[in-house]
Chain A
């Protein structure tokens, strides 16, 4: 029973992440390459509720399907490298330092590594490291967006963790 609940919840989360991802792509950006990273809310929430494997699943499915719905191959390469790098960093931080770090710190690090990953892909594709002049602005935007993502996840998790079915799922996990 808990297993079914897990799968249902996971599918819902993938769906929500996908919707956020697609909508976010329509929001115009102030500076080239800067994104809000709202879909990260879902990956971080999944990490808190379901665990690291599920959070990776959400990121991978979200990028694969997101690229099918409105992207190109290069956009896919960007998202998958950035998304995985940021997710792995958040998983490691959450696993080993969760007692010392707030959610905002974890998601800020995730956002920063997302941007670094994207720059790595960009530098690799055009074979020019000068693209790193984008780094300062991407770091600063990562701090801002990561901070708000962390706050949002904090709010969502605060309410959801008391839901009986979420408690069930978390119990089944241990």
Chain B
């Protein structure tokens, strides 16, 4: 343990605390009693689903212009990527999203799913 190690340790602890604080704020802002999943591809919202109103589990595949695909499964109260052809599979490993503020991304295919707690969309598609 050298002198500078303590300073580095302190800076890192402060950084982690700040980032956790921001995470808390983020969760707080997104709080709400609804579960609205938004599927966003290339920065455009392509689908909005009210997860509380999903009765039957459903799966479908989204394809992008380059021919890559992601398969999404939705059940009552939760949504996830179940299959994709991206190399890292970060999206699939993110697992189920069931809380407002949850997010799963597939960077290679530029698709993300986000859950919001409030209903701010006027033109909504729902099942």
Contact = CB atoms under 8 A, between A and B. Distances in A.
A105 interface: yes
Contacts of B40: 126, 128
A36 B119 CA distance: 39
B103 A101 contact: no
Given A122-B105, A122-B107, A143-B12, A133 B23 contact: yes
A29 B93 contact: yes
How many B residues touch the partner, as a band? 20 to 34
Contact of A105 (B4, B90, B104, B107): B4
Interface in B1-37: 1-5, 8-9, 12, 15-16, 19-20, 22-23, 26
A109 interface: yes
B43 A133 contact: no
Interface of B: 1-5, 8-9, 12, 15-16, 19-20, 22-23, 26, 40, 43, 86-88, 90-91, 93-94, 101, 103-105, 107-108, 110, 112, 114
Given A32-B93, A100-B2, 4 more contacts: A71-B87, A105-B4, A126-B43, A139-B16
